[in-house]
Structure formats: C-alpha cells, structure tokens
Amino acid sequence: MSKDKLGINTICTHIGEIKDEQFKGAVSPIYLSSSYEFLDVDVKRYPRYFNTPNQEYLSKKIAALEGTEAAMIFGSGMAAISHMFLAFLSKGDHLVVQNTLYGGTVNFIKEEFPKYGIEYTFTNGYKVEDFKTAIQPNTKLIHIETPSNPLLTITNIKEVTSLAKSKSILTSIDNTFASPVNQNPIDFGVDMVMHSATKYFGGHSDICAGAVASSNAHIERIWNVSKNLGGSLSDMTVWMLERSMKTLGLRVKAQTKNALKLAKWLHKHPKVSKVYYPGLKSHPEYKLAKAQMKGFGAMLSFELDKSLDSEKFQKTLKLIKSSMSLAGIESTVISPHLTSHALLTQEERNAVGISDQLIRFSVGIEELKDLKKDIEQAMEV
Ligand SMILES: *Cc1c(COP(=O)(O)O)cnc(C)c1O
C-alpha cells in the first residue's frame, strides 16, 4: 500500500508498526536490547546508533507524517535541534535564525555557537525581507519557526525557502506548534523539519523526546554527528511515543477545533483586550496561515484587560493549570513575561509585544463549555 495515499489517522495508527510475528499481538512489541548480534546481520544495531527496532520503526511513522524519506528520534526536542544545527554548521559558517524563537533554541545558539566558532544573526522580524538582509556570504542554514511562540506570528515558508534556494542555503523549521496535522513544511520547500515530541507527538505530558524529518542524505549527515554526541531516546519511551502518536491526528484536530472557538469567544470578550490566533480574520497573516496550514493550531495568546491581575487570574483557574510546557490534552496557561521572556527587561519585552497581561493558552480536548466557564469564573475575581 502506498503511504502517500493514506490519510493522516491511518498513518498515525498503522505506519511504523512492528508486526508481532511470534504471538500475533495487536501492538508493536517493545525491544529493550542494548546488545544485538553483530556478525552475519545486515544492520548493526545499538541504541546510540538510533537504530533499535522501535526507533527505526517509529521513525517511519514520523517520516510518513511529514512526507519525508527518513526521520530520527532523539531524547528531547533540544537534542533534535542541536544535532541538526551541529550537523550542518561548522567553524566559520553562519546561521540565519528567526528572532521570535523557542527560548531553549535561543540559549543554545547564544551560549554554544561561540565555542564552536559558528556565526549567527537573529532576524529583525519574520518577513522575507528580514531574512534577506540577515544573509551573509557564509550563511549555510536558515531556521524558522511558524507559528511562533508566544505571539503566533506566521512566516511565509515558501518565500523564505525560495530565497534560500536562490542562494544554495538549506532551510530548517521548528514545526512543533503546528504539528504535521496542521502543517507540512516539506510541501513548501523546507529541507528539514524538527519537532519537540514532548509536545503534540507525546500529547499526554509524560514524554520528553524530539525528532527531525528530512531526506535520506540529510538524515545520514545528522546521524554521523548524533552517533558521536549520543542523546538517543530509550526504547521504553519510544514505545510510549508510538502509542501516543496513534491518536495524534484525533487529538490535534480536537484541540485545534476548541482553539478556534475559544479564540473567537475571547476576541469578543469584554475582559480581553487582544487575542493572537492565526485563525482569526483580524490576525495580520490570516490569509497566509490559511494558505500554508491545514488547521490553525491549538496555541493562542490573549491579553487580559488591565482591570485584571494576570497572576491572580491564573491561580483562580480551576480546570486549567499553569504550565511551562504545552500541547497536552489538558489545557494549560502561562505568562510569557515570567517564563520564556523573563530574562528580558520591561522595555525589551514591550518592544517585542510581551506585556504582563499576556497569557499563552495551550488548548486541550476538554469540553468547550467547561473551559469557557473556568475562564469566566477566574475573570470574576
Ligand atoms: C518545547 C519546545 C522545544 C524544545 O523541546 P524539548 O523537548 O523541551 O527539548 C523546541 N521548540 C519548541 C517550539 C518547543 O515548544
């Protein structure tokens, strides 16, 4: 059966299964061996070679979801991103990276790149012109993130990859926020797609993992670095991740549906001064989001009216918990000014549009009416 023809929920359920030939069980067996026969075998398997049976097969599911030839699974999203960068950037090379970016990625670049002699430029914005002006003769990779955290800006993937291709520069994207359910960057010319599998892939807030999907050649290049650095995922967790990913399509579609309805509701709410969600017609890149995304995602941010105390609001919520992480089936909120952007000064935060009233909302699968009721009661205080 050609996997191109399969729908997303079929890929989630079946691609990358390990058939249980011995007992005919319904689910993939878990292989915990860290030692495999060496002589007379086609594949020399070892966990840190990222090729145990469970790692190898789950990679097929991720590749099928992103429409790539291959994929690799890592011990965290940051392992995925750091290995990818280190595979394609050497001493004297230059990275162009979007300024609105996951905090961990920013820290990795700023703290580790100087040790390797790798140069970098953060763009001034997320428009293609911003990427153009940041490119240098030694630029080897452009890294983007769309939708971005926490203001859900949308970068035009096609424009950035066309620009990169015209200068023989590779492109990578952090597709964590959208997930392959809502966005397939490969269709718009991106070379490498990475995920924090801790988020939607895992989806139940009990797994820390990461992944990169790309061509066989690019994955081989990453593998050559990764086998030296380590950072593979334990097969126990790989197996759990496979189980979680069977419901990725169902979960993310339900979360996305809830998010669109909540965004519209909050947009009209008298105690909310602004909503950031690419599915709202008021979002500056609504049309672009519609063109390059299959759904608008389940992350949104909103500004509470000045009459409300944002910390008190979060503490008063009963169903919705505060959490630094995101993308679980349970709804969570966080103040970016206390977490991802805490190290910036008030002026710097104001400059990038992160006010103390801003709440980032990771929408879960709960019933819409219960979520609304919870938010409503927390606004009464
Ligand atoms: C969480 C996250 C990461 C890092 O993933 P970890 O699994 O925590 O290492 C990278 N990018 C985005 C957008 C994230 O949300």
Confidence of residue 381 (pLDDT cuts 50, 70, 90): confident
Place of tokens 């030839």: 69
Do 127 and 262 belong to one domain? no
What are the tokens at 299?
A: 């992350």
What's the total number of domains in the chain? 2
Atom of ligand 1 nearest to the CA of 209: 7
Residue from 199, 200, 301 whose mutation best tests the ligand 1 pocket (most atoms within 8 A of CB): 199
Angle, CA of 31, 237 and 247, to the nearest 5°: 105
Alpha-carbon distance of 131 to 144, in angstroms, equals 10
pLDDT of residue 1: 47
User: Are 50 and 187 part of one and the same domain?
Assistant: yes
Cα 366 to chain center, whole Å?
22
Cα R_g (the chain), whole angstroms: 21
The ligand 1 site (C-beta within 6 Å) comprises 76-78, 102, 104, 149, 174, 176-177, 196, 198-199, 208, 210
The reported pTM is 0.96
Residue 2 clears pLDDT 70, i.e. is over it: no
- The average confidence (pLDDT) of the chain is 96
Mean pLDDT score, 244-267? 98
Whether residues 318 and 373 share a domain: the answer is: yes
The answer to whether residues 84 and 212 touch, using CB atoms and an 8 Å cutoff, is yes
Does residue 70 sit in the same domain as residue 147?
A: yes
Ligand 1: distance of its center to the CA of 249 in Å?
A: 20
H-helix or E-strand spanning residue 251:
helix 248-268
Query: Which of the residues are catalytic?
Result: 48, 102, 174, 199
Are both 179 and 253 inside the same structural domain?
A: no
Q: Which of 181-190, 281-290, 346-355 has the lowest mean pLDDT?
A: 346-355
Of all protein residues, the one whose alpha carbon is nearest to atom 2 of ligand 1 is: 196
User: Ligand 1, atom 1: nearest CA belongs to which residue?
Assistant: 196
Q: What is the pLDDT of residue 238?
A: 98
Neighbours of 379 (CB within 10 A): 18
Domain termination site, one of 219, 245, 271: 245
**Alpha carbons 257 and 277: distance in angstroms, whole number:** 12
270 and 231 housed in the same domain: no
Instruction: Copy the structure tokens of residue 15.
Output: 């691609």
Q: What is the pLDDT of residue 103?
A: 87
Question: Strand 272-276's sheet: what is its strand order?
Answer: 272-276, 299-304, 358-362, 332-334, 321-322
Are 120 and 132 within one domain?
yes
Distance separating alpha carbons of residues 375 and 263, to the nearest angstrom? 12
The pLDDT of residue 349:
84
**CATH code of the domain covering residue 322:** 3.90.1150.10
Q: Which domain range does residue 373 map to?
A: 249-380
Among 176, 177, 299, 341, the mutation site with the greatest number of ligand 1 atoms within 8 A of its Cβ is 176
pLDDT at residue 35 in the model: 96
Given 245, 275, 295, which residue is the final one in a domain?
Answer: 245
Using 50, 70 and 90 to split pLDDT, how confident is the model at 350? Answer: confident
pLDDT for the residue numbered 4: 59
Residue 223 has pLDDT above 70, yes or no: yes
Q: CB of 145 within 8 A of CB of 155? A: yes
123-164: per-residue pLDDT in tens? 999 999 999 999 999 999 999 999 999 999 999 999 999 999
Q: Residue 104 Cα, ligand 1 centroid: separation in angstroms? A: 7
